[in-house]
Structure 1
Amino acid sequence: MADAFVPYAPLNVPKPFADAVWIVDGPEIAMDYLGLKLPFPTRMTVVRLPDGGLWLHSPIAFDQGLAASIAAFGPVRHLIAPNTLHYWWIPDWAARFPEAQLHAAPGLDKAAKRPLPPHRVLGDAPDPAWTEVIDQLLVPGGLLTEVDFLHRPSRTLILTDLIENFEPRRIRPRWLRALVRWSGAADPDGKAPIDMQLSFWRHKRTLRSAVRRMIDWAPEQIVLAHGRCYDRDGTVELKRAFRWAL
């Protein structure tokens, strides 16, 4: 079917994922991979904190209509740049919600190719603003450093690039489907692509420790930034996707 190639429509619409958790699928972007420009679907996560404020993880391309929809849920209090690759639209969201506090992964101030507004650096422990409901951990690596989160009330693990799970049926060119499968990031066996796995070679002990902490969290579902999310069997999927690191 032709609509199988449409990336997670409707786009720019908050979709309930768990209690107090929404995902928003955005437009595809062109990502550099092995010298090629590849179409990547994008996704952000919205969490409502106990005080009613909103926590926006990995904001997608800014859209006025989407911003209005999110603002209707409550005040935007936190904007999260969770790794050294997912940050580009943070300044646009910060301009729309100037009262929001920005939080960025370590090293992003030096790696960013676009100036970032003043921000707090995310660490291996949750910020006091969300410690009541969200756990977090730091995963330092070579290609990227990522901070991952668990929304405890819904047992939802929120990842960015450490698992990618592209659905081949949504990829039109045959050569690209083959490349995604070769990289190891194809559904139903999505995981970190091979180049990212290799980049953790010098950080494997730290990565293994972080993955074990995530497994101990026993997530029921997992939100991914790229590809099909896991709405059940989260811990099983986590062990499967990180078998290369355990």
Structure 2
Amino acid sequence: MHGDDAKQTYPPLNTLKPVAENVWLVDGPLIRFGPPLLKMQFPTRMTLIRLKTGDAFIHSPTPLKPELRAEIERIAKPHWILAPNRLHYWWTPDWKAAFPAAEVYLAPRIKEQAGKRIDFPSLPLDRDSGYPWDGEIATISVAGRYMTEFDFFHRPSRTLILADLIENFEPDKLSIGMRLLARLGGCLAPDGGMPRDLRATFSNEKTELRKAVETMIGWNPERIIVAHGRWYESHGASELKRAFRWLLT
């Protein structure tokens, strides 16, 4: 790993890190995303939840290194692999190849975006209930013009799992230019939130977005795992109210 990459990510990478009972996260490598002259560097993160059956729920998979695969196989059997929005699918084919019996669930527009990269059978994320994990994990859809994101709440540990709905980039992990972009974008820690460009795609769906956020606040999460930047280890409901104050007031 390059020195700059190590500074901007959350080492150690590609290894299970305990979050709560039966919940782990994996910090992944940097990706670069955005318009050609304004590309930002994003640290990546996936979440693994082990259900009572021993089956694993894999959210937003990061690269599947041999060491990580061995770690996972020691604690659980990957049963569901979830790509929660149209931007969070890239490593899904690698996981499906490694665990062919696992079911892949895709958010709307992923097949359109991925093209031939998704060439295997999959199931749709297209509703808020009726999934095999419903007993332990609640599902909620957040639909905007650009993308629909599916978010999840692990009831036993009170862990909320988001992808891009909140981003929380730490200043000391960014260059001066990236720090300015994150501040302007409304996603600079400790005041992370929904990026302003993503907010704009919900201009006609604010009522639905507000209902979704209010539902998540009502779940009273203790912690919030986000895919990009520092995650929230405590006071999850308060962090939701802070991050979405522009929407709720």
- Please report the TM-score for the alignment, with normalisation by the length of structure 1: 0.94
**How far does residue 114 in structure 1 lie from its aligned partner after superposition?**
4.5
Judge conservation of contact 1:79–1:102 (CA < 8 Å) in 2.
Answer: yes
Identify the range of structure 1 (120-129 vs 203-212) with the bigger mean alpha-carbon deviation.
Answer: 120-129
Output the CA distance in 2 between the equivalents of 1:60 and 1:202. 32
1:76-95 maps to which residues of 2 (within 5 A)? 76-95=78-97
Superposed CA RMSD in Å reads 1.7
Aligned residue for 1:160?
163
Pick aligned residue for 1:53 from 49, 52, 55: 55
Output the CA distance in 2 between the equivalents of 1:220 and 1:87. 27
For the structure 1 residues 114 and 183, does the alpha-carbon distance in structure 2 shift closer, same or farther, using more than 3 Å as the test? farther
- Please report the TM-score for the alignment, with normalisation by the length of structure 2: 0.93
SS of equivalent residue, structure 1 residue 110: helix
Is residue 169 of structure 1 aligned with residue 172 of structure 2? yes
Output the CA distance in 2 between the equivalents of 1:33 and 1:7. 21
Judge conservation of contact 2:14–2:65 (CA < 8 Å) in 1.
Answer: yes
SS of equivalent residue, structure 2 residue 39: strand
**How far does residue 175 in structure 1 lie from its aligned partner after superposition?**
1.3
Pick aligned residue for 2:153 from 134, 138, 150: 150
Count of matched residue pairs: 244
SS of equivalent residue, structure 2 residue 213: helix
Output the CA distance in 2 between the equivalents of 1:213 and 1:228. 23
**How far does residue 62 in structure 1 lie from its aligned partner after superposition?**
2.7
1:64-79 maps to which residues of 2 (within 5 A)? 64-79=66-81
SS of equivalent residue, structure 2 residue 72: helix
SS of equivalent residue, structure 1 residue 112: helix
For the structure 1 residues 33 and 235, does the alpha-carbon distance in structure 2 shift closer, same or farther, using more than 3 Å as the test? farther
Judge conservation of contact 2:47–2:60 (CA < 8 Å) in 1.
Answer: yes
Identify the range of structure 1 (206-215 vs 159-168) with the bigger mean alpha-carbon deviation.
Answer: 206-215
Is residue 233 of structure 1 aligned with residue 235 of structure 2? yes
Q: Which runs of no fewer than 5 residues in structure 1 stay unpaired?
A: none
Output the CA distance in 1 between the equivalents of 2:241 and 2:36. 27
Pick aligned residue for 1:115 from 111, 114, 117: 117
Q: Deviations over 1:79-134 (max 9, x none)?
A: 00011110011011100000100011123222334532211111332344211100
Output the CA distance in 1 between the equivalents of 2:222 and 2:88. 24
Q: Which runs of no fewer than 5 residues in structure 2 stay unpaired?
A: none
1:119-134 maps to which residues of 2 (within 5 A)? 119-134=122-137
SS of equivalent residue, structure 1 residue 137: strand
Aligned residue for 2:202?
200
Pick aligned residue for 1:27 from 26, 29, 40: 29
Output the CA distance in 1 between the equivalents of 2:172 and 2:163. 22
Output the CA distance in 1 between the equivalents of 2:58 and 2:5. 29
Output the CA distance in 1 between the equivalents of 2:6 and 2:169. 13
